[in-house]
A = this chain, B = another copy of it.
Amino acid sequence: MKYSKATNYALHTIAYLGLLPSGKAIGVKPLAEIQKVSPTYLSKVLTTLVKAGLIVSAPGVKGGYRLIKGVEDITFLDVVQAVEGLNPLFHCSLDNHVHDNENCFIQQTMNEAEKKMEDHLHSQTIAQVLKKIDQRVSDYLKSEAG
């Protein structure tokens, strides 16, 4: 079981968009270059984020992608679910007259565990990531000066 590469691209792109001046858009080409992925494929990933309502796109000159909400209002869960979908990770396939995935206690436990992960992803915003990056850069500059 693994997260798809698309989730990786989506998260990094969202973080990058969060670094842009508010309202400013950027095309898929530079985003693709940074992440060493083809523009057409990254575009496909970003289109799913558009449909999920996390970013907006505009065609034509001066077009590209930009965030809708502030980075403090975008959680990891938003991005992950937009790309990975909403189906439970685990599915009890044992099905008979006294047991199905509705009443399976194993299923219940696996769902609870998944929920813990989701809760954490929901508590973490893109803003927090950007803040950590800021902090690292600032620390680095300080160490250079000292």
Give CA–CA (A93, B120) in the complex, Å.
22
Which B-chain residue is minimally distant from A7 (CB atoms)?
A: B90
Count class of interface residues, chain A:
35 or more
Which B-chain residue is minimally distant from A131 (CB atoms)?
A: B105
CB distance from A30 to the nearest CB of B (A): 14
How many chain copies does the complex carry?
2
Is there contact, CB below 8 Å, between B8 and A76?
no
Give CA–CA (A12, B135) in the complex, Å.
47
Which A residues lie at the B interface, using CB under 8 A? Answer: 1-5, 7-8, 11-12, 15, 34-36, 76, 84, 87, 89-95, 105-106, 109-110, 112-114, 116-121, 124, 128-129, 132-133
